[in-house]
Amino acid sequence: MDRIKKQILSILHAGKASIWKIIDFQDASLPEFFNKLQELKKEGLINIKDGVVELTPKGKKFKFDFKEHKCKICEGTGYKIFMKIKKDYEKIIRNRPKPIEKYDQGYIGTNAILRKLSFMVERGDVYGSIFVAGDDDLFSIALALTGFPKNVVAVDIDERLINFINNMAKKYGLNIEAYVQDFQYENKKFSKKFDVFVTDPVETLPGIKLFLSRAVSTLKGIGCAGYFGLTTLEASRKKWYEIQKMIHKMGFVITDIRRQFQVYPDDGSNFFRFQDKLPIVKKLKTKSDYNWYKSALYRIEAIKEPMPLIKGDAKLGEAIYKDNESWATPI
């Protein structure tokens, strides 16, 4: 029996569970998870009804000692929330633009934003010039609220987000400049001007190659750092392998990977609003009832002159957003 099946059976030894909670507990990609679930059902080890999974008598014969080992206080991240700006940040983003399907948008929750901020402060990466490549999360606002960065620049394809960020920057006196940018078109305006980039890229190989290339091109040189999120849900280990090869080719070392660091909450406004169009929901035939979509936080650092893999314009079309692992992307 393989590891993913053992993970699924393990959590079920604590009692029946929502499919979505099990997805969060295991770490296969969504297509892989779905196949494992079907195999366990065919083997007579589990029953599935109305989105709830439980062990059969045969499944209970496999002995697993399930315990929750994650720290509940920090949600398994190891980091406290950067409380100093929490109240102001929540006030500012209250009327944020809602995600739309066209750009595969979705944002991480406030606690995840403020834990990422704590992590970056610890790493000394918040005191220079910071480039935010795509800002569904409105992370540029959190950064600027600290007063630490020399300057923050955010770019996004969505004009609604850019207008919102610029309006809030003006209203609250935040040191942010925001610009509309489609990464399919090269923009040399920001080349080699920043110490750190932050992005939450799409997870197709062509898409993430494009996002990381555009972000990397903004860095000044050796010693500069980048942050980005990557799931195991829409990126299998084979895809992680290819992405990590890209990172090394661009002149970077991976210094940190924090598993399930970023939580995308089902708060009524996030991308779960159009979950009926998600392939995983269609496959499982049950709606989400758990905050199951999470991503790991990567930190990378340039050990030689950063070299983006894509230069010039690169019109990728739908290949930016969708591939055969994009089961949490609306279609």
pLDDT in tens, 52-86: 999 999 999 988 777 778 888 999 999 999 999 99
Q: How far apart are CA 28 and CA 180, in angstroms?
A: 35
Coil, strand or helix at 130? strand
pLDDT of residue 278: 95
In whole angstroms, how far apart are CA 319 and each of 278, 296, 322, 323, 327? 17, 23, 5, 7, 14
pLDDT of residue 99: 94
What's the pTM? 0.96
Per-domain residue ranges for the chain?
3-61, 83-320
CB atoms near residue 66 (< 10 Å): 14
- Backbone phi, psi, residue 125, to 5°: -105, 20
Residue whose C-alpha is closest to residue 133's, from 219, 232, 235, 206: 219
Structure tokens at 2: 């393989």
In whole angstroms, how far apart are CA 308 and each of 142, 197, 204? 27, 13, 17
Pair type for strands 252-263 and 294-302: antiparallel
Residues of the chain with pLDDT under 70: none
Residue 273 Cα to chain centre, angstroms: 18
Residue 20 Cα to chain centre, angstroms: 17
DSSP state of 197: E
Residue whose C-alpha is closest to residue 195's, from 215, 175, 214: 215
pLDDT of residue 72: 86
For the four alpha carbons of 109, 115, 121 and 123, in that order, the dihedral sign comes to negative
**Quick one: how many helices (H) and strands (E) in the chain?**
10, 10
- Type of residue at 135: D
Helix%, strand%, coil% for the chain, nearest 5? 40, 20, 45
pLDDT of residue 268: 86
Q: Choose the CATH number for 3-61 among 1.10.3720.10, 3.40.50.1370, 3.40.50.300, 1.10.10.10.
A: 1.10.10.10
pLDDT of residue 308: 98
83-320 under CATH 2.40.50.140, yes or no? no
Q: How far apart are CA 280 and CA 218, in angstroms?
A: 35
pLDDT of residue 331: 74
pLDDT of residue 321: 92
- Type of residue at 5: K
Structure tokens at 159: 């004009």
